[in-house]
A and B are shown apart, each in its own frame.
Chain A
Amino acid sequence: MLNKNIYLILIISLVFAISFWIGFNVNLLPAEASINAPIYDELFKILFIIGLIIFIGMTIAVIYSLFKFRKRNDQIGDGIALEGNLSLEIVWTIIPSIIVLLIGLYSYNIYDRMGGMKELNHNHEMMSSNSEKIWAGISQTSDNEIAINNLSIEVSAMQFAFLFNYPKGNFISGELHVPVDQKVSMKMESKDVIHAFWVPEFRIKQDIIPGQPTILNFTPTKVGKYPIICAELCGPYHGGMRASIIVEEESDYNEWFNKNKKPEVNL
């Protein structure tokens, strides 16, 4: 009996060790290029490790049962008439409940750190004067910051392109240029069908909806060029609906901005 328990403990610790090793050493995610990305990857790592423990554990249990309790040729009759075990069943109800609850609370914490729990309607009223209803994207900014020193960009999506309007510079660009380490606040609206704005390296995504502006805020942290991908089926050329986001040093960004800037026209 003692021997059996030692084997069990050994196997369980081995499953844990393997899962932790894989969780910390196998990277399944693209580069991290925004404030959100490392927070996301932290959640991913935890879920990955817990998932591996459960999956490897269950797989071993199934394969072991098939092997150990397989019917030998000389055997007749049935297995043991075991119809249940209340305490065991209570254990495997309560432990998963606790795990699920902890994961839920933890992901709430992650979501809060990403800025997802802030009310956005109020922000928008400060951004522009009309009081149309804004739906929640991810916000990382407190109420006052958004109006003062954020880079605000208006995104319009259509079949099959994104257009980026820089209201301060009075110009429209097909490429999204942003300075590194600065908060960017986007108001997005679609001209036709539903699209989505996704930058995998930023770990953010928000649908762009006709008739209902959405907002999405992010802070890029790494200079480089990243793809902007439409993630919502929008028609035959959906797969080709791409744009680029270019994250650059502030001086480079200013140079680009001033080159494209147009004087305001008062009609």
Chain B
Amino acid sequence: MIRHLRSAADLDAADATLILDTAGEMASLTGGREVKKLPALRGRTVVNLFYEDSTRTRISFEAAAKRLSADVINFSAKGSSVSKGESLKDTALTLQAMGADAVVIRHPASGAPHRLAEWVDGSVVNAGDGTHEHPTQALLDAYTMRSRMGRLDGLRVAIVGDVLHSRVARSNVLLLTTLGAQVTLVGPPTLIPLDVAAALSEKTQVSYDLDAVVPDSDVVMMLRVQSERMQDSYFPSAREYSRRYGLDVARLRKMPEHAIVMHPGPMNRGMEIAPEVADSPRSTIVEQVANGVSVRMAVLYLLLGGK
């Protein structure tokens, strides 16, 4: 197993499958039990180093580490020495001195986990870095798809929205194509990054027409689109964006009957996704959150060499 999870590209198909299988075991070991705790990482220290507010991701990692009996230290950029201007390197050396076995990092700068991995001995887990990647989100998305659809190989997945700024999209493209899915990126041309297929996976397709893609998709994954993007001329208005690229009830009806709707959250209801769609039985949004804990348990367990 690899030592760090900085990018979904760190995972080959065997490693990725092992994580998903292990997540399944974690879910069955802890699910439905009153005591949701396993002793696997007793005595190990996991630091959550969060330079951005992200309650849902931090709580998910914290729950995962605690269910494995690890000691968890939450190190938030707010109200810490970080806000006094301490460098990432000095923070890393501090964590190193405290004996962190794993550091889970969320950071606004792309590549911060790569830098951190040079300065600590423990495992580094990328919990979202800038507009780069969010590999555990991709793993939990893949886990959710596999649970619902029974397979990933050959699965047709549409990822819709602000791909340019989305770390979720980058990680999903890398992981899903590694696992044999067919990914189509959909959005206005302004929000599809340059040379995306060459950059991530030659198997990736690009479309600017959501209506054309929806009927042939097994999974439609909607990305969060910040309405501020319209200030920067990526699209003219939230209304136009929503009409052209939002998943509304009419588009939901055009999806195959078995197809599911995903969203990494937090959602802009009425913008990229209609409330009726978000709350429909086809939506896996709440399931994704629950699966997140199992997947992160599997990642921490495997990276820290748990047996």
Bound together: no
